[in-house]
Chain A
Amino acid sequence: MRICILTWEFPPRIVGGIARHCEGLARALAHMSHEVHVFTLDFPGAPDYEELDGVKVYRAVTELGHPNFLTWALLFNHFLEKKLGAVSQQVEFDVLHIHDWLTAPAGVSFKYRVKKPMVLTVHSTEIGRAQGLHNPDSFAIDGMEWWATYEASKIIVTSGSMKGELCGHFHLPGDKIKIIPNAIDLTKYNASIDRQWVRQRYGVGPNEKLVLCVGRLVPQKGVEHLIHAVPAIAWRHPEARFVIVGEGWLKGHLEHLASSGGHGWRIRFTGFLPDSEVVALMTSADVLVIPSIYEPFGIVALEGMAAGVPVVASQVGGLAEVVEHDRTGILVYSRNPESIAWGVSRVLSDPGHSQWLIKNAREMVQKAYSWEGIAKKTVEVYKEVE
């Protein structure tokens, strides 16, 4: 099949899970001998066109701007559409696959132009991300999300919780939505890592415990609840040291929160790190905490499981589907520092049990979350709408 993927983030333009998802899916589809064309936005240092393992990647340059985000989003869609139009002179696509509302204007318009079916993957919703609709932009985004689901022939979501959210909020028929989980590239986790050297670089000594948190520093990731849990964790495990990886608009607030609680010296913020460094840290950590309050899937849980670190995650959304409590990880109450502290302590206090969790989690990831399997299921959806 000739597959056209539209996404506003694709490596090296990495914001959240969408970039990793689109990269993994595109590579797996190309590996299955499909012709895959990815249309995305430019990023400093990235070429306008390149081929990655058989995937053709086009990066559109947005030549006009506007201070308002929504206006800017509509403008970049115009430039994406222009790029699509140029390529479609040479390539006849069989299916169009867009990711989230951000590329919906270009996708819907292109769908009518080339008269091909459009599949939409909803990675999250505005009402979930913002925990409500609080301003005119939020209402507009919510409307565009509904419009994209209406225009799509089929919708893919990564978890049952996301399907429930779409059916409830947008009143969509359940049979229009297919659940296909995220996956990860397990080969990334085969590299030999010098754990002591990695820990040393982040100021964690050989007799200390590295508690890791990886995610965008935004409210829905719940990092403040982990910071509030630090005193209780430190009381039970004085050797605990915390490394928080990620960038986000809440970073200043979280750094202030961490430094004002008396345990600031235990907590280190690294900012954005490249994938290889995140893998090295995950492989070297004693526990990975995912304190999210909203998480449609939670690909970071799979990454932790593949890296062989025990996962402590909030019992919300997709995380509650990925992590099986006390078998492949530990589930804790969302927005509850005491529960997070309990979960971390459960892992740190019982190395034997932790090793058992790691073993079970690895087996599960290998069995159920490979890109090859996910790409096959995605092609089945493409064939249904073709």
Chain B
Amino acid sequence: MSQEVTEEFRLLCMLHNIGATKLEKSLSIQEICEWTAMETSSVQFHIQKLVELGYVQPTEAEGTGKYHLTPNGIRKVLTLYS
């Protein structure tokens, strides 16, 4: 393949594979960093972009921002393997 997947798409895939695909399985930035071994600033930057693109849904739980994939985010991830 001539095109490489972007960093934000790589993060979207990891969020999907971890299981952050519904509201009750939303993850905080800190949890995402722990799962993915990515830097906090990098996760924040890419998550913001994914939210803007409509692939990730932000929610507020116990005063902390949490994130999970939207149905379109799930579909986008699955195109990599289908």
Which residues of chain B have C-beta atoms less than 8 A from A219's C-beta? Answer: 1-3
Closest 5 CB pairs between A and B?
A65-B19, A72-B17, A65-B18, A67-B14, A248-B79
| Assembly CA distance A72 to B20 (angstroms) | 12
- The smallest beta-carbon distance between A134 and chain B, in angstroms, is 7
Which residues of chain A have C-beta atoms less than 8 A from B70's C-beta? Answer: 44
> Cβ of B72 and Cβ of A272 under 8 Å apart?
yes
Q: Mark B1-22, 1 if CB is under 8 A from A, else 0.
A: 1110110010001101111111
| Assembly CA distance A359 to B19 (angstroms) | 47
| Interface set, chain A 1-54, CB cutoff 8 A to B | 9, 12-16, 18, 43-45
> Cβ of B48 < 8 Å from any Cβ of A?
no
> Cβ of A90 < 8 Å from any Cβ of B?
no
| Assembly CA distance A249 to B70 (angstroms) | 15
Which residues of chain A have C-beta atoms less than 8 A from B9's C-beta? Answer: 249
Which residues of chain A have C-beta atoms less than 8 A from B14's C-beta? Answer: 67
| Assembly CA distance A252 to B71 (angstroms) | 18
> Cβ of B61 < 8 Å from any Cβ of A?
no
Which residues of chain A have C-beta atoms less than 8 A from B46's C-beta? Answer: none
Which residues of chain B have C-beta atoms less than 8 A from A250's C-beta? Answer: 3
> Cβ of A62 < 8 Å from any Cβ of B?
yes
Which residues of chain B have C-beta atoms less than 8 A from A130's C-beta? Answer: 1
The CB with the most chain B CB atoms within 10 A, among A16, A67, A68, A69, is that of A67
> Cβ of B82 and Cβ of A247 under 8 Å apart?
no
Chain A: interface size category: 35 or more
Find the A residue at minimum CB distance from B35. A67
> Cβ of A253 and Cβ of B79 under 8 Å apart?
no
> Cβ of B40 < 8 Å from any Cβ of A?
no
Which residues of chain B have C-beta atoms less than 8 A from A253's C-beta? Answer: 3
> Cβ of A131 < 8 Å from any Cβ of B?
yes
- The smallest beta-carbon distance between A133 and chain B, in angstroms, is 11
Q: A44-B74, A45-B71 are in contact. Are A65 and B79 (CB under 8 A)?
A: no
> Cβ of B76 and Cβ of A251 under 8 Å apart?
yes
> Cβ of A15 and Cβ of B1 under 8 Å apart?
no
| Assembly CA distance A122 to B21 (angstroms) | 27
- The smallest beta-carbon distance between A332 and chain B, in angstroms, is 21
| Assembly CA distance A193 to B56 (angstroms) | 33
> Cβ of B19 and Cβ of A62 under 8 Å apart?
yes
Our pick among B20, B71, B77 for the contact of A43 (Cβ within 8 Å) is: B71
| Assembly CA distance A73 to B9 (angstroms) | 18
| Assembly CA distance A266 to B16 (angstroms) | 34
Find the A residue at minimum CB distance from B5. A249
Which residues of chain A have C-beta atoms less than 8 A from B20's C-beta? Answer: 65
> Cβ of A9 and Cβ of B82 under 8 Å apart?
yes
| Assembly CA distance A219 to B79 (angstroms) | 10
New A-B pairs, 19, CB < 8 Å, besides A44-B70, A65-B17:
A16-B79, A43-B74, A44-B71, A44-B74, A63-B19, A65-B18, A66-B17, A67-B13, A67-B17, A67-B36, A69-B13, A102-B81, A129-B82, A218-B80, A247-B72, A247-B79, A248-B79, A249-B9, A251-B76
| Assembly CA distance A114 to B81 (angstroms) | 29
Which residues of chain A have C-beta atoms less than 8 A from B22's C-beta? Answer: 44
| Assembly CA distance A63 to B78 (angstroms) | 18
- The smallest beta-carbon distance between B64 and chain A, in angstroms, is 20
- The smallest beta-carbon distance between A66 and chain B, in angstroms, is 6
Which residues of chain A have C-beta atoms less than 8 A from B3's C-beta? Answer: 219, 250, 253
> Cβ of A252 and Cβ of B1 under 8 Å apart?
no
